[in-house]
Amino acid sequence: MKILVGYKRVIDSNARIQVRPDGLGVVTDGVKLSANPFDDIALEEALRLREKGVAGEVVVAAIGPTDAQAHIRNALAMGANRAIHIVTADAVQPLTAARTLLKLIEKEQPGIVLLGKQAIDDDCNQTGQMLAALWDRPQATSASKVEVNGSVARITREVDAGLETIEVDLPAVITADLRLNEPRFIKLPDIMKAKSKPIEAIAFDSLGVESGDHLKITHYAPPPTRNKGVIVNDVAELVSALKAKGLI
């Protein structure tokens, strides 16, 4: 069985983000970019399934500009067998990403598609669900445990009331939650080996994907500056201060 893993490049979670002066985006020049953390978790799970003998090949799929190949090599260094890079300089919204991944599914015929449950840049949490609907196959989202037995995957999910366990027939789409695993540390020999692993570059326009980018962002703004806190001596002074601000 083959596992296809979605792999997206995002602004690093530890980077300080600033809004552009024109308010039409965030400053990316000189800002550290990294793989989406949830996608690293999805890739780690795919590699563990391969190590258990469930799958024979792990293929990474990324959509992004030409310079995203450095991060794709990171996925290959983790252990993916090969990668497919859909090259586009444009930002891609969830529906377009799902339609693009569907084209790759038609080509690769994977038994499992593993994605991060969401990307930390937009937090949409939509691509996996949209892909399952377009593919007309089962989905298991926000997985915290994955067990595969033959043509059935048993997925444990964390929900408000506790844990929910579902079974889906394969092929299926599975999205990874934070507690699914801890991605492995990449060693220097693996980084060297990754340089010889194949990356297939495909122009986005050649796929004939209909755009699903119907959302238009008109303005970005930083969160309001927090005022300095005030120290009060007792409860009565606290109540007075809250009344003065109209909070009670």
Domain ranges within the chain, ordered by starting residue: 2-223
pTM for the full model?
0.85
Residue 152's nearest CA partner among 131, 172, 136 is 172
Residue range 186-234, pLDDT digits in tens: 999 999 999 999 999 999 999 988 888 888 888 888 888 888 888 888 9
Structure tokens that stand for 22 in this block: 């024109």
* 9-45 residue pLDDT tens: 998 888 888 888 888 888 888 888 899 999 999 999 9
CB atoms within 10 A of CB 31: 13
* Residue 98 DSSP label: H
Please state which CATH class domain 2-223 belongs to: alpha beta
Cβ atoms < 10 Å from Cβ of 17: 13
Strands 152-159 and 162-169: antiparallel
Question: Cα(47)–Cα(232) distance, rounded to whole angstroms?
Answer: 55
- Residue 172 to residue 175: CA distance in whole angstroms: 10
For residue range 4-15, list pLDDT tens digits in order: 999 999 988 888
